[in-house]
Each structure stands twice: as structure tokens, then as C-alpha cells.
């Protein structure tokens, strides 16, 4: 809601929660005009022009299909679905109905990620050889208790924040993952999902990537791209709360720095989606990208079980 509050092109006019009392409480807290206890009721409201699906992951498929049935453009939280098959159903339904479907991979709207992408594409580090992204946060006692139930979440940190890293690396490199190897660990607090994991990614043009994610470590989101002629890195490069320093290194020395801040990330995402709805332009993260990320997630979870590289 703080992100929506900063948006310039849209206003939240309704929300839906499973319990009407809770819905009304949330609506009052955020000064939202309409509260509902079902998505059907929300979509039927004539003041609703588009829908943002932020329900638990297992609800993404039915919720997106409901919005599509009402011909409402829909922005769906990540991960797009529980499986690539579900994501494909969502994408096909939206395409058949001519309804805009976007996925809320907000890191694509961060100044840090965009600048690293621009500098990689400009050749500042030569050919990318290695790419690394991490996302850790202390997850014990998290209000989204459903994250510990694989039947609702689809997985632990791989699905929750690892998918952010996967999408960011795909975006920065402008390349697709073709194979994945993953290892994961559980502990006494992780329920039916993993607590920590490391993924090795092989990209189509030869770059090797690493994604590390955990719900048992202090918050950290470092990003690093190693090329034949230099290195770009940002400590906590995905952070949205404080300035981020992007460094260019050559021969182990920092030769250039720039500072950016990602405090407009969520508002920028919402405004971009609104612009796509209003103008008919393609949204920066269309449903097809969510499906591609889901293919990588599926391969990662297969690899956790088989102990082998899995093709995407």
C-alpha cells in the first residue's frame, strides 16, 4: 500500500480479503472505498478497472482466471503460480480473452537493476562470464505463515525470493536459463519447504549464474556481474529503503562508482502497468516472463530431488 500511495496514475478503490470484517478493517486503515470478501464481488464492482492479485501463491491461478473472466487487466504477484503448467493456463486464458496480464517482478523497476543492465549491455565489463544474486532475510515468525506449507506456497525461499533473483539476472543479462542445478536444506522450523538453497544457472549464451537464498540469515541482497574486462557489483543491490552504491572494478580496483536509490520501485511498477492498460503498450513484465521464471523454478525443484542438472 505505501507503493500504491506513491503511484501517480492509479488509485486503490477496492480490496478483497477472505473475511469481511478483516477486509473492512484494512479498507478503513488505507482509506479504500470498497471492501469485499470475494474476488468475484470485487471484479463485479464497476469502479474497478484492473486487479492486483496478492493472494497466497496457490490462489494465483484461480484468482487470475477470475479477473480474466471479468475482462479485468490483472497484475499478479510473484511467483506467478505453483507450477509452469498453471502459469501457462493463466497466460493462455489472458491471451484468449485479450486481457493484459503482468507479473509483479518489481526489481525490473529498480534504478540499481536498470543501471547494471544498461552498463552490461554497453559493454562496460566485456562479455559476462559469471552472475551472482542473493536474497536472504530472517523468516522465523514471518506473518506469511503459509510460506511453510508447500501446498500453499509451492516452496520456500527458492519460490519466494529466489525467483526475484532469477528474473533480475535474466533481465540484466538479456538471456535465458537453459539448465539448473539446485541444492536445498530444511530445518526444524521450515515445515514442508526448504529453509535455504543455492542454484547454479547455465544461460544460453554461456554465462554461469548463482542464486543463493535463505530465510535464516540477516537481510542481504548483493548483486555481482563478472565480465571478461571488469566487474559490476552492488551490495544490497535490491534494497528499496536506502541508497545503493554500484561499483565498477578493473584489475581488482574500484574505478567508477554511482549511487542510486530504489524508493520509487513499487510506485513505478504500478504506474507502468497503468500506462500499459491505458495505452495498450506492452507491460515490462508480461505473463510470458512469469511463465519463463516458473519453468526455471520447476527445474530447480526437480534438481533438488534428483541431485542433477535439469533442463529448463
| pLDDT at site 268 | 96
One domain for residues 150 and 211: yes
* Residue 240: predicted pLDDT: 95
Exposure string for 83-111, b = 16+ CB within 10 A, e = fewer = bbebbbbbbebbeebebbbbbbbbbbbbb
Taking alpha carbons only, the member of 233, 245, 181 closest to residue 209 is 181
Q: What is the mean pLDDT of the chain?
A: 97
Same domain, 206 and 99: no
pLDDT band, very low/low/confident/very high, at 48 (cuts 50, 70, 90): very high
Q: Are residue 159 and residue 302 in the same domain, yes or no? A: yes
- Please state the rounded mean pLDDT for residues 172-180: 98
φ, ψ of residue 131 to 5 degrees: the values are -140, 135
pLDDT tens-digit readout, 186-244: 999 999 999 999 999 999 999 999 999 999 999 999 999 999 999 999 999 999 999 99
Same domain, 69 and 112: no
- What's the domain count of the chain? 2
What range does the domain containing 252 cover?
108-262+294-311
Closest C-alpha among 70, 94, 90, 92 to residue 78: 90
Whether residues 139 and 49 fall in one domain: no
The pLDDT > 90 percentage for the chain reads 97
The mean pLDDT of 6-16, rounded to a whole number, is: 95
Q: What is the CATH number of the domain that holds 63?
A: 3.40.50.720
In the predicted model, what is the mean pLDDT of residues 279-289? 96
- pLDDT tens by residue, 114-154: 999 999 999 999 999 999 999 999 999 889 999 999 999 99
For residues 186 and 278, membership in a common domain is answered with: no
Contacts of 98 (CB under 8 A, 6+ apart): none
Same domain, 184 and 228: yes
Residues 163 and 243 reside in one and the same domain: yes
| Average pLDDT of span 2-29 | 94
Q: Are residues 73 and 177 located together in one domain of the fold?
A: no
85 and 127 assigned to the same domain:
no
Same domain, 137 and 253: yes
Mean pLDDT score, 297-308: 98
Q: What is the CATH number of the domain that holds 213?
A: 3.30.360.10
pLDDT value at residue 116 = 98
pLDDT at 93: 98
Query: Does 2 score more than 90 pLDDT?
Result: no
| pLDDT above 90: residue 3 | no
Q: Are residues 8 and 59 in the same domain?
A: yes
Amino acid at each position: 500500500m505505501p507503493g500504491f500511495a506513491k503511484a501517480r496514475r492509479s488509485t486503490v478503490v477496492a480490496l478483497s480479503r477472505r473475511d469481511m470484517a478483516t477486509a473492512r478493517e484494512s479498507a478503513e486503515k488505507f482509506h479504500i472505498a470498497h471492501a469485499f470478501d470475494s474476488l468475484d464481488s470485487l471484479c463485479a464492482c464497476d469502479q474497478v478497472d484492473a486487479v492486483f492479485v496478492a493472494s497466497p501463491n496457490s490462489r494465483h491461478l484461480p484468482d487470475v482466471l477470475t479477473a480474466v473472466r471479468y475482462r479485468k487487466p490483472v497484475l499478479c504477484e510473484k511467483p506467478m503460480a505453483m507450477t509452469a503448467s498453471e502459469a501457462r493456463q493463466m497466460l493462455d486464458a489472458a491471451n484468449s480473452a485479450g486481457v493484459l496480464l503482468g507479473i509483479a517482478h518489481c526489481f525490473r523497476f529498480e534504478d540499481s537493476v536498470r543501471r547494471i543492465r544498461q552498463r552490461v549491455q554497453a559493454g562496460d565489463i566485456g562479455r559476462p562470464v559469471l552472475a551472482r544474486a542473493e536474497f536472504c532475510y530472517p523468516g522465523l515468525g514471518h506473518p506469511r505463515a503459509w510460506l511453510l506449507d508447500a501446498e500453499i506456497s509451492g516452496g520456500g525461499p527458492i519460490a519466494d525470493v529466489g525467483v526475484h533473483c532469477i528474473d533480475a539476472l535474466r533481465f540484466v543479462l538479456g538471456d535465458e536459463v537453459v539448465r539448473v542445478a539446485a541444492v536445498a536444506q530444511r530445518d526444524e522450523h521450515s515445515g514442508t519447504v526448504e529453509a535455504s538453497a543455492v542454484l547454479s544457472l547455465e544461460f544460453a549464451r554461456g554465462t554461469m549464474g548463482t542464486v543463493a537464498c535463505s530465510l535464516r540469515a540477516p537481510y542481504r541482497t548483493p548483486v555481482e556481474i563478472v565480465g571478461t574486462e571488469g566487474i559490476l557489483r552492488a551490495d544490497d543491490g535490491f534494497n528499496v529503503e536506502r541508497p545503493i552504491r554500484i561499483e565498477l572494478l578493473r584489475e581488482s580496483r574500484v574505478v567508477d562508482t554511482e549511487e542510486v536509490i530504489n524508493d520509487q520501485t513499487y510506485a513505478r511498477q504500478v504506474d507502468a502497468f497503468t500506462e500499459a492498460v491505458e495505452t495498450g503498450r506492452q507491460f515490462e513484465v508480461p505473463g510470458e516472463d512469469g511463465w519463463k521464471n516458473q519453468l526455471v523454478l520447476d527445474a530447480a525443484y526437480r534438481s533438488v530431488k534428483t541431485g542433477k542438472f535439469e533442463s529448463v
